[in-house]
Structure 1
Amino acid sequence: MRWWDIDPVLALERALFPEDAWSRGMFWSELAHARGPEATRRYLVAEDAEDGEGDGGGRIVGYAGLASAGETADVQTIAVAREHWGTGLGARLLTELLRAATAFECAEVLLECRVDNVRAQKLYERFGFEPIGFRRGYYQPGNVDALVMRLATLPDSASAAGAPSVQGTEIND
């Protein structure tokens, strides 16, 4: 993800998470820590290949981000446009985040997931994440609890959970 991706990412963010969407400033702040030798973040976008050639010229249909601190990484966000649900794109984005966690030399990966987001929980469980607790009232408004999940041992970055490839979608950082 680059600065020029922020506007289309924001549009998708607002469509998927209207009540608790990230702001432009939040994305700018995260991207400020994603470049250079001291980088602690990794943000990706997935684009629909307009011409089927995967040249990065398509519409953004997903994005994901990871933050690292010492030996711990935290999945900050994963989002996939509704028309791409069930295509394996979420798994592919998660695979790339786990590769980034390995590159950051993190021993564990944490994430929070809405307790009512069963689709996401199943994805994370497929990758070996296990529930370790709750954050009460984490998602606002609505006072929705978050399920905290942890992956203690990262899968081999080359074959993370056998994540499917997605035709016509390109992942870009």
Structure 2
Amino acid sequence: MLALAFAPMGEGDLDWVGAREAELHAHPWSRGNFADSLASGYDAWILSCDGVPSGYAVVMNVLDEAHLLDIGIVGELQGRGLGKRFLDWLAEGAKTRGARDFYLEVRPSNAAALRLYARSGFVEIGRRRGYYPAAGGREDAIVMRRAL
């Protein structure tokens, strides 16, 4: 089993995170989006496996809610359970900080993410019409919640 470590994302991580984000998403966050998240005080994390940066996540905490804004696992490590372990760790951290619920939005076309979120205890609670940019228009977002 891979040895996992979690560290706060810092300014020095932004180039790496931005590059991974561009590899993983058709409509990626910019480096500036991640810098803004750090400046806003959001929880931003780097996941390392056996000492190698392997994933990242950004969580916004508001009162008794946590919102997963972005998460990514490097392509060659996907499918090994790291996303679920990362989500579970993020959920436990949110709960420790007083969150009662953990929310996220996901594209209906992202079948792998939908499976991951379902395995991690998230359930669909609604839809946001035309939320995401998509080739030729907009794509809905499925809103999901996990009770903590």
Residue aligning to 1:10 = 18
Q: Secondary structure at the match of 1:86?
A: coil
SS in 2 for 1:128: coil
Larger Rg: 1
Residue of structure 1 equivalent to 2:48: 47
Per-residue CA shift, 1:83-133, capped at 9, x if unaligned? Answer: 111111101211121022112201111100110111111111122211011
Q: 1:114 aligns with which of 87, 107, 111?
A: 107
SS for the counterpart of 1:105 is coil
Which of 30, 37, 50 in structure 1 is aligned with 2:37?
30
Hey, what's the Cα distance between the residues in 1 that align with 2:20 and 2:37? 17
**1:42–1:97 contact (8 Å) kept in structure 2:** no
Per-residue deviation at 1:48? Answer: 4.3
Contact 2:17 2:31 in 1 (8 A): no
Equivalent residue, structure 2, for 1:163: none
Q: TM-score, normalised by structure 2?
A: 0.86
Unmatched segments (≥5 aa) in structure 2:
1-8
Structure with bigger RCO (C-alpha 8 Å, 6+ apart): 1
Q: Which amino acid aligns with 2:118?
A: E
- Counterpart CA distance in 2 for 1:27 and 1:99 is 22
User: RMSD across aligned C-alpha pairs, in angstroms?
Assistant: 1.4
- Give the conservation status (yes or no) of the 8 Å contact 1:110–1:150: yes
- 1:79-158 paired onto structure 2 within 5 Å: 79-142=72-135, 143-152=138-147, 154=148
What is the aligned residue count?
Answer: 138
